[in-house]
Amino acid sequence: MIYDPIDIALILVKIGLVFVVILTLAAYLVFAERKVLAWIQDRKGPNRAGPFGLLQPLADLIKLLTKEDFRPIGADKWLFYLAPAMAAIPAIMIFAVIPFGAPLTLFGHTVQMQVSDLNVGLLLFMALSSVAVYGVALGGWASNSKYALLGSIRGLAQLISYELSMGLSLVPVVMLARSFRLSDIVNAQSGCWFIVYQPLAFTIFLISIAAECKRIPFDLPEAEGELVAGYHTEYSGMRFGLFFVGEYINIIVLGGLAATFFLGGWHGPWLPPVIWFTLKVFSFAFLFIWMRGTMPRLRYDQLMHFGWKVLTPLALVNIVVTGWWLVLRG
């Protein structure tokens, strides 16, 4: 195989860009969440560091980096140190397959606005999101603490259960687009977004990604009323920061995927594609923050029953109906 140095340079630039943009966005999403929650609860929110509190993420970063990196006695040393990275890295890796803009032509090179256009892109997302479970599971287990262990057992069960309905809700998308390649899925929606054909699949996917992000109303793995902070109870400093930022990276990435699968990805009138994509991601992020501000937490058995007895059967029925519809339409 021959490698074109320009292509390699372009890919490196894209990887670097995605890293910087995603991490910055994740940091500011934390800030945005605090501001929006404050607005919902009629407070002011962070407003001391810089104008309108805009330097708050930077201040938080410095605080987290300078804190003591503490490890409880009896903790499993290596797994305790590795778990935060296992939680954050798969989340950011998923973004490699998301197309965030229309392909550009620069100096005779067609540049895909996507790090890697795999023909199994959708499956890579499923694979990485199923592997992200290890961060939660090992983090809580290695802490050698009851609260953390309970949190990670809950997290494991929840993530496995909702991954199922998430995967099943994506089957109709693949049936409509006739491809696992994310750029094909986006192109198949140039006329009509899949949310029009598949409102049920979209709803199931949205609920499942809220559970995958471990957000309210599905935040049982870290329910602070009962489990202190769940699986990251014993973590401090930047290791806690990685778990925390990983969660916000997850929101951005899953929002981007929801936009790609159901809302036409970067397609949209008047505005440039990248702006459309960003707008869609931001609206999903806003929706998640809004849900946190207004919803109560589910009970654990409700969570499990809802996932297994409502979402999964609905997703299966939806697949069969979509199949018949596609056959009858010809």
Residues at the site binding another protein, with contacts judged by CB under 8 A = 1, 3, 76, 79, 118-120, 123-124, 126-128, 130-131, 133-134, 137-138, 141, 149, 152-153, 156-157, 160, 163, 180
Sign of the torsion formed by the C-alpha atoms of 160, 161, 166 and 168 = positive
Question: What distance, in Å, lies between the first and last C-alpha atoms of the chain?
Answer: 41
Sign of the torsion formed by the C-alpha atoms of 213, 218, 220 and 225 = positive
> Helix 237-262 and helix 133-142: axis angle, to 10°?
160
Q: How far is the CB of 173 from another protein (least distance, A)?
A: 14
Q: How far is the CB of 312 from another protein (least distance, A)?
A: 13
Among 127, 91, 17, 135, smallest CA distance to 255 is for: 91
Q: Do residues 97 and 125 lie in contact, with contact meaning Cβ atoms separated by under 8 Å?
A: yes
Closest to another protein by CB, 95 vs 125, is 125
Closest to another protein by CB, 153 vs 229, is 153
Closest to another protein by CB, 152 vs 233, is 152
Closest to another protein by CB, 137 vs 289, is 137
How buried is residue 293: exposed, middle or buried, by Cβ count under 10 Å (0-12/13-18/19+)?
A: middle
Among 133, 132, 125, smallest CA distance to 155 is for: 133
Q: How far is the CB of 242 from another protein (least distance, A)?
A: 18
Q: How far is the CB of 118 from another protein (least distance, A)?
A: 7
How far is it, in rounded angstroms, from Cα 223 to Cα 317?
A: 32
Q: Which residues contact 21 (CB under 8 A, 6 or more apart)?
A: none
Q: Where are the beta strands (DSSP E) in the chain?
A: 101-106, 109-113
Secondary structure, 3-state, 106-126: ECCEEEEECCCCCCCHHHHHH
Q: How far is the CB of 175 from another protein (least distance, A)?
A: 12
Closest to another protein by CB, 137 vs 311, is 137
Q: How far is the CB of 196 from another protein (least distance, A)?
A: 25
Q: How far is the CB of 329 from another protein (least distance, A)?
A: 20
Q: Do residues 54 and 31 lie in contact, with contact meaning Cβ atoms separated by under 8 Å?
A: yes
Q: How far is the CB of 153 from another protein (least distance, A)?
A: 6
Closest to another protein by CB, 3 vs 270, is 3
Closest to another protein by CB, 58 vs 120, is 120
Among 316, 308, 321, 288, smallest CA distance to 170 is for: 316
